[in-house]
Amino acid sequence: MSSVKLFSTLGSPAVRGTLLTIRALGLKDKIKIIPINLVNGDHLQPEFIEKNPLHTVPVLEDGKFILWDSHAINAYVCDKYAPNTSLYPKDLQKRALVDSMNQFDNGYLFAKWAHYIQSVIFQRETVEMGNIQDQIFETLDFLELILQKRKFVAGENVTIADFSIVANITTMEIFYPIPEDRYPRISEWLMQMKKLPYYDINQKGVDVFSKMFKPLLSLKSKM
């Protein structure tokens, strides 16, 4: 698998979901990381758009095969390089729950706030922070209910859906710390996730994101 590459930037929550997957599977030294600088517009260069017309990271290149969307990448990497892993179970129903939580991550968690964050970062627009907080908390209310029934987001074990969701939530936490009294189960789950031996890669990315964008966001929200 010497020709497997991941085009990525550590600040991106989507990328961090994939990096957690790669670390958990012990593939760290087998996948070459190709840095993409979103602030400088590396992702808008024709050679990157040729790989991913959506110009998003992460992108996986496995020989001639190219795949974008972190959730699809995480599932692919598990199936191809660690087919017996419980991170993406083979059992039809267990796997379906993981798929459903990946959709929750993409369609709710990421969608609710990425739109605002990206408009500030890339289009330099003003955003109304109070408005975002209501939407984020509404989505966290859903997750709290889900976690009242399960130890991890898709069942009793850690899966790739936990990685994607923890990467997003810990990035949101930079701006909106999770109130423990309103979200006891999310707080407990976050604590478990942060204890995982490979968790530090997510924290590194959260720190990078925070350093780069927190000043920009608070500044813009005052405009």
Ligand X SMILES: N[C@@H](CCC(=O)N[C@@H](CS)C(=O)NCC(=O)O)C(=O)O
Is position 51 an interface residue for ligand X (rule: CB under 6 A)?
no
Residue 122: strand, helix, or coil? coil
Binding ligand X (rule: CB under 6 A), the pick from 8, 21, 70, 139 is 70
What torsion do the CA atoms of 70, 53, 80, 100 make, to the nearest 10 degrees? 40
For the record, the structure tokens of 160 come out as 């790739």
Is position 77 an interface residue for ligand X (rule: CB under 6 A)?
no
The window from 49-57, 130-138, 178-186, 189-197 that contacts ligand X (CB under 6 A) reads 49-57
Residue 117: strand, helix, or coil? helix
The least CB distance from residue 72 to ligand X, in Å, is: 8
Binding ligand X (rule: CB under 6 A), the pick from 56, 139, 168, 170 is 56
Total residue count of the chain as it appears in this document: 223
Binding ligand X (rule: CB under 6 A), the pick from 61, 62, 69, 162 is 69
Is position 74 an interface residue for ligand X (rule: CB under 6 A)?
no
CB 48 within 8 A of CB 7: yes
Site for ligand X in 9-28 (CB under 6 A): 12-14
Q: Phi and psi of 35, rounded to 5°? A: -70, 140
The window from 51-59, 79-87, 124-132, 208-216 that contacts ligand X (CB under 6 A) reads 51-59
Binding ligand X (rule: CB under 6 A), the pick from 25, 38, 154, 190 is 38
CB 57 within 8 A of CB 12: yes
The least CB distance from residue 184 to ligand X, in Å, is: 28
Residue that is written with structure tokens 């990525």 in the block: 8
- Who contacts 25 (Cβ-Cβ below 8 Å, separation ≥6)? 77, 78, 81, 82, 85, 87
Residue 208: CB atoms within 10 A of its CB come to 15
Is position 205 an interface residue for ligand X (rule: CB under 6 A)?
no
Binding ligand X (rule: CB under 6 A), the pick from 25, 78, 97, 106 is 106
Q: Which residues bind ligand X (CB under 6 A)?
A: 12-14, 38, 43, 55-58, 69-71, 106, 114, 118
